Amino acid sequence: MSGEPNQDDQKPAADEGQAAEIPVEVEAPEKTAEAKDPVAELEAKVATLEKDAKDNKDRWLRAAADLENTRKRTKREIEDAKFETKNKVLKEMLPVVDNLERAIEHVGVDVDAKFKPFIEGVQLVLRQFTTAFERLEVTVIDALNQPFDPNLHEAISQQESDQPPGTIIQVLQRGYRAGDRLLRPALVVVAKAKPAEA
């Protein structure tokens, strides 16, 4: 037994020779779905950021427009509140002015000397009211001989007249404007056509 070659001893030599002859295959890295082009990734990020920027700009523009509308609405509400407050006070004063004017009209020209100082005092008070109204931008609506305008005048009655129909022939109570707004309409009598003679 010792003289025969051992089969086990020969096998490793054969295995070693075969191992040297077999080429080792190195696997090439395959492109998987996970590996992406860096340029494409950056372009996608840029597109996303541009979309976000556009959305943010749209939101900002809407917010700015809402703010501007709120400012305008608040300013208009403040102006309306100021006008209403001023309007209430002025409307309370107008009957006083009307009565002072009526008092002066009814006195006439021929006044007893002892009443002249009283009349002059009434005229002075009326002038003070007129001056105060001018400072507050309150103006009288010119109505007599004007065409009837329902925005400025309130017709109490119609009367036959030689004036064209729809013309104001008498002012019963003067109307007033406060700035561009109507404070009180004028109470007027409007002309109507005379009936045609038979």
Domain residue limits, the chain: 41-136, 138-198
The answer to whether 41-136 and 138-198 have equal CATH topology is: no
Q: What local confidence, expressed as pLDDT, does residue 104 receive?
A: 84
Q: What is the mean pLDDT of each run of 10 residues along the chain (198 residues)?
A: 52 50 54 67 90 92 94 92 87 90 79 80 91 90 88 89 87 89 90 72
Tell me what pLDDT residue 33 has: 47
Predicted pLDDT at 75: 94
SS (H, E, C) the chain: CCCCCCHHHHHHHHHHHHHHHCCCCCCCCCCCCCCCCHHHHHHHHHHHHHHHHHHHHHHHHHHHHHHHHHHHHHHHHHHHHHHHHHHHHHHHHHHHHHHHHHHHHHHCCCCCHHHHHHHHHHHHHHHHHHHHHHHCCEEEECCCCCECCCCCEEEEEEEECCCCCCEEEEEEECEEEECCEEEECEEEEEEECCCCCC
> What's the pLDDT at 50?
92
Q: CA-CA distance, 9 to 4, in Å (whole number)?
A: 11
Alpha-carbon distance of 168 to 188, in angstroms, equals 6
CA 95 to chain centre: 35
Q: Terminus-to-terminus CA distance in the chain, angstroms?
A: 169
Q: Which DSSP state fits 144?
A: T
Q: Taking the domain 41-136, which CATH number applies?
A: 3.90.20
Please name the fold of domain 138-198. Nucleotide Exchange Factor Grpe; Chain A, domain 2 (2.30.22)
Number of other CB atoms surrounding residue 176 within 10 Å: 19
β-pairing verdict for 168-173 and 186-192 = antiparallel
